[in-house]
Each structure stands twice: as structure tokens, then as C-alpha cells.
A = this chain, B = another copy of it.
């Protein structure tokens, strides 16, 4: 088996299970521990996974608890500031959940008059602090992990909305694979959100760039704006610039 094949295999395992054990890979791929270790190290160097004692973890897995702490808050604020520029008086905006979106909401100008649909209770509460923003919370099953509403009812309601702009956080974005996700329900949800907005902005801290997970939400071309904390000319973004994406 070629090295590249092993690497691909490892990445597939990672995206499938969010983690791999060195010992498992030794058995599955039938090579020595050292080889696996070297493979993992090389993948780390390519910024594709996260190495820990005993194996490796998906970079996006990282987010599961980071979301609830104030992880990378500065970056998120930087992203929020950029996102605010997209919002104009009178707009109808649809937002997802997550801490990045929450930071964005906190940065909105006080006088803004707009209509916000959201699937995140916390975002709704934060939006309610603005007098001239009308807030509509889209109801349904409430996800304990991602703290947003989801399920059939949400998707039905989304289909009745026509928004000017959809703002969503992301678990993974990749220049070729586009937006991807791990959970089926969240995947469906994001698709529905995309479908009901004229334009979509993806808020994404840089460490989630260049990651592809199991389920495809949409190709990169379906996204109108990509907002990261990086400068436009940062090399990590070059592959996205090529794709004609509007990058803030």
C-alpha cells in the first residue's frame, strides 16, 4: 500500500469517527507503529489532524467543547466585526447558532433596524437587546449538542422564509469539497438554511479551513461570502480566492 493511500485511509477514518488510535491503524494497515507515527506526524504538518498520545483527533472534533468556552474569542470578534459590514437597514437575515454568530450579534450597531430569523435561542436572546430588530425564533426539536433547533418542523418553517442573507458558522470548509458536516440532521438543516436565503455568508475561524467531513452541505460555489479572522492576502486563503469567493 502506498503512503498516500495510507494517508487517505487515515483521513477517512478521522472524518468518520473523529479519532483514530495508533494501535488500530497498525492492525488495519499492517505496518509498523513507527510508520503510522510518521504518517500522523506528516498529516499534522499538513494541518489535517491533531495528534495526541495514543492516536490522533479530527481538527473539527476540537470544537465540541470549545464552543461552550470562549475559545479563540479574539478571532471570533474579528470575524464578527467583518460580518457586521454585510448588514444593512431593512434586511431580513437568517442566522444559525454557535459562539461566532453570538459574538457577531453583540457587535451589531444599536440603531439597526432589521428582521432576524434564527434557530438559536441564545442568539434570539441576544438579538432581543436591540430595540429595532424584530426577532423570530424558529422552533422545533432542540439539539443538546449544537444548541439550535432542528428537525422536520424547522425545515418546514425555513421553507416559508425568504431572507436576504444567511449567516452560518461552520464545522468544516474545504476548497474542493465545500461545506461539510458530520451529523445528518445538521446537514439537512444547513441545506434548508442555504435554500431560503439569497446570499450566504460563512463565518469560519481559520483552523476550520481545509477540512472535509463526511456529509456534504453544499459546494463552495453556493457560498457568497467567506469570513475569517485572516487578512485577505493570507496564504491559507489563496485556494479560496481562486474559487472566486468573496472573502472578507
- Asked if A247 is an interface residue, CB under 8 A from chain B, the answer is no
Instruction: Please tell me if the beta carbons of B121 and A3 are within 8 angstroms of each other in the complex.
Output: no
The interface residues of chain A, by DSSP majority, are classed as mixed
The answer to whether A65 and B12 have CB atoms under 8 Å apart is yes
Q: A157 an interface residue at 8 Å Cβ cutoff?
A: yes
Cα distance, A124 to B124, chains bound together (Å): 12
Using a CB–CB distance below 8 Å, which chain A residues touch chain B? 2-5, 8, 11-12, 15-16, 19, 21, 48, 52-55, 57, 60-61, 64-65, 68-69, 121-122, 124-125, 127-129, 131, 134-144, 147, 149, 154, 157
When distances are taken between beta carbons in the complex, the residues of chain B under 8 Å from A69 are 11, 15, 48, 60
Q: Is the CB of A142 within 8 A of B128?
A: yes
Contact across chains for A138 and B141 when beta carbons are under 8 A apart: no
Q: How many copies of this kind of chain does the complex include?
A: 2
Q: Which of A52, A121, A157 counts the most chain B CB atoms within 10 A? A: A121
Q: How far is the CA of A212 from the CA of B131 in the complex (A)?
A: 29
If A69-B11, A137-B137 touch, whether A3 touches B128 (CB-CB below 8 Å) is: no
A186 to chain B, nearest CB (A): 15
Write the chain B residue with the least CB distance to A10: B65
CA distance A122 to B135 in the complex (A): 15
Cβ 8 A contact of A122, one of B2, B3, B121: B121
- List 29 interface pairs A-B (beta carbons < 8 Å), by A numbering: A2-B19, A2-B53, A3-B54, A5-B19, A11-B65, A11-B69, A12-B68, A15-B65, A15-B68, A15-B69, A16-B68, A48-B69, A121-B121, A121-B122, A121-B124, A121-B137, A124-B142, A125-B147, A131-B144, A134-B141, A136-B139, A136-B140, A136-B141, A136-B142, A137-B141, A137-B142, A139-B149, A139-B154, A139-B157
Task: Return the chain B residue nearest A116 by Cβ.
Answer: B142
* Chain B residues closer than 8 Å to A54, beta-carbon distance: 2-3
